[in-house]
């Protein structure tokens, strides 16, 4: 990892109007058995930037990405989740518990802060 080749941005917000025309956030990438890469990502729209949705794009090479037109965008159900998570900041952390079967020790932690300092 001493030599780098700078490439253009791999994935950017849509031109819109679209659920992801304001911003693209973190996601998860996995490779299917047929070799195609799948990128599940979070995006928000200019129309309603407080609502985050999950989209899907695919790539044969991790460089060129295509939004999947057949993917049904996932969105939170407003009956259960507010537009915002309340006052302050929230962080979800994943880890592995010290005890239990090795394939059943996954845990999620929830940290909160009113000001990002405490």
Q: Is the residue at 118 inside a domain?
A: no
pLDDT at res. 52: 84
Q: Is the residue at 12 inside a domain?
A: no
Q: Is 21 exposed, middle or buried (0-12, 13-18, 19+ CB in 10 A)?
A: middle
Compute how many other C-beta atoms are within 10 angstroms of the C-beta atom of residue 76.
Answer: 13
If one counts the domains in the chain, the total is 1
Q: Taking a C-beta distance cutoff of 8 angstroms, is the pair 56, 24 a contact?
A: no
Q: Is the residue at 99 inside a domain?
A: yes
Q: Whole domain around residue 89: which residue ranges? A: 23-77+84-113
Measure CA 95 to chain center. 18
The lowest-confidence range among 31-35, 69-73, 78-82, 97-101 is 78-82
Q: What's this model's pTM, rounded to 2 decimal places?
A: 0.67
d(C-alpha 43, C-alpha 20), whole Å: 4
d(C-alpha 110, C-alpha 103), whole Å: 21
């Amino acid at each position: 990892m001493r030599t780098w080749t700078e490439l253009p941005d791999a994935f950017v917000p849509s031109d819109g109007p679209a659920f992801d025309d304001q911003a693209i956030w973190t996601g998860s990438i996995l490779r299917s058995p047929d070799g195609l890469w799948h990128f599940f990502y979070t995006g928000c729209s200019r129309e309603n930037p407080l609502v985050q949705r999950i989209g899907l794009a695919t790539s044969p090479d991790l460089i060129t990405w295509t939004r999947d037109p057949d993917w049904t965008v996932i969105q939170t159900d407003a009956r259960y989740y507010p537009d915002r998570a309340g006052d302050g900041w929230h962080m979800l952390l994943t880890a592995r518990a010290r005890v239990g079967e090795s394939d059943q020790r996954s845990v999620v932690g929830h940290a909160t802060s009113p000001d990002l300092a405490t």
